[in-house]
Structure 1
């Protein structure tokens, strides 16, 4: 790849999120592996989309579509799209297999092998990582500018998430599709969609969007973590970003959403308007606000489960 890119303080990732529709797991060990890989990537990286005028830092939203990883680069404050690139997994298949084989061998060596054996496995691990990183940089040439260490960490994250890809083709899938819409896609609609996926894993495609762009909400992270749902993977999306144009059911959760949905011209089996309070408007101390978020979560959990049971056979 030649010389390393020269980075600035702005040329870096500060947020990485995962698409919960295409990267799915309810195993806490697997989710922990994702989190460690994301943490390592964010801790030290040099990352900049090529050929764009937008300045960093950046957010990266990852999803898996068929045999491709979609690297969706966004503004970390507004989550407005900056650049998106499809990365084929085919050239990485052997390296991904080697990653897991060498990783397992390394863990086994740590437990029982002599120091020289550990060092031998570790050298093989570093060599594989370097080869994968160089390939990654080559495949992203003129698309994303990243140094070798960042490429190594990004490859580790790709390895951590790709075995758990649902690989649902929404264009041909016969699963029922549900879209939840609220104002900002920060609180109500992402909570509802996440609860739908938890209640009916692999049996429904549940997406969420906002009329306008919002920001990630820490209170959402906290109250959903209590019920075993990791919302740190969520990136707010808006109606105009929707690729799918047909949903079996569209549920609006804010006053401005129904008219926005009608203007969008979606094909819908049914449109329902749910009156749902916005807990982010609650004033008071931290405990009072958290209780409002929990009330929303618990009421939506019951309502979503009851309503979607009629769709899921």
Structure 2
């Protein structure tokens, strides 16, 4: 398949998000590592999915399933799916090991080596990146099209997130699974899932979904950042994108979500409906709107801390 020339206005990634269940870390060094890699990739890239009619620019959502990184290309505003491809990490293992080895050598050289030695290590680092980028382009041939510099930056991001590939997958985990559902997976359900992960670390797998497709809500980013939760990794998902249909706990947060769960035949040992107001419907000044978002966050926080513990205990006992 012959590649067309890159269009600088449309053939590019404008945002990158990570799956908050399988990738996000609370370790500040790891968070810094993937944030820098994301920034560099978004800053300069040439990219488009092959064999699709959708025009860019694009959002790229990364998650990990077993030994694969899933490259999920989406619309940057609605986050509706465009193309998704599984990239096996196996052919890249030796290159990833060499990446970390050379990176440590480079940092060590900067501290104590001569200019000549630093240049030699840097030359080896650039050579490794070129080799990895060429392999990446080859493995994604006729799937995702990118130039060499974009492939180099994408490889750096893969190195930053690949330590999570050894994690137990959601399907294999013995932890209770909880699904939060609201109308568009933009505000209420992602806030609930993020707070559940914060308050019950290592005790549950929390997912969120919407009845229909929504958009990223930056008010959510702001009010959650205030309590130390990074929501920039969240990508809105619909119920149609759920792999599982059976959960230990399902909590609906909107009336249409309650009806949709029943219509789609989703099942859970524990079903709860918490009617929560949608702060995106608030009108008024920015501070008034932010106040509504903070009120939702705090109400949800209290509800989770007082209600979820016995639900989890019941689910864990049932397991």
TM tier, smaller: over 0.9
Q: Deviations over 1:32-73 (max 9, x none)?
A: 221111111111111111111111111111000110000111
1:165 positional shift: 4.3
Contact 1:65 1:168 in 2 (8 A): no
How has the CA–CA distance of structure 1 residues 165 and 231 changed in structure 2, closer, same or farther, with 3 Å as cutoff? farther
Runs of 4+ aligned structure 1 residues displaced above 3 Å come to none
* Count of equivalent residues: 312
1:166 positional shift: 6.4
SS at match of 1:72: strand
Contact 2:225 2:231 in 1 (8 A): yes
Asked if 1:186 is matched to 2:186, the reply is yes
Separation in 1, partners of 2:294, 2:99: 40
What residue number does 1:200 align with?
200
Contact 2:246 2:267 in 1 (8 A): yes
Asked if 1:7 is matched to 2:6, the reply is yes
1:4 positional shift: 8.3
What residue number does 2:110 align with?
110
Separation in 1, partners of 2:245, 2:175: 15
Separation in 2, partners of 1:177, 1:166: 20
1:172 positional shift: 2.9
TM-score by length of 1: 0.96
1:267 positional shift: 1.9
Separation in 2, partners of 1:7, 1:167: 37
SS at match of 2:36: helix
Unaligned 5+ segments in structure 1 are none
SS at match of 2:145: strand
Q: Provide the alpha-carbon RMSD of the alignment.
A: 1.6
1:95-106 pair list within 5 angstroms: 95-106=95-106
What residue number does 2:278 align with?
278
Q: Deviations over 1:198-225 (max 9, x none)?
A: 1122221100000111100111111111
Separation in 2, partners of 1:25, 1:288: 32
How has the CA–CA distance of structure 1 residues 278 and 137 changed in structure 2, closer, same or farther, with 3 Å as cutoff? same
Contact 1:23 1:166 in 2 (8 A): no
Separation in 2, partners of 1:161, 1:48: 22
Separation in 1, partners of 2:290, 2:116: 52
1:301 positional shift: 1.6
Q: Deviations over 1:101-158 (max 9, x none)?
A: 1111111211221111110110011011001101111110011000000000001111
1:306 positional shift: 2.7
Q: Deviations over 1:137-196 (max 9, x none)?
A: 111001100000000000111111111346332223211000000011000000100111
Contact 1:21 1:166 in 2 (8 A): no
1:5 positional shift: 6.1
Question: Which piece of structure 1 moves more, 263-272 or 232-241?
Answer: 263-272
1:24 positional shift: 2.7
Unaligned 5+ segments in structure 2 are none
Question: Which piece of structure 1 moves more, 299-308 or 28-37?
Answer: 299-308
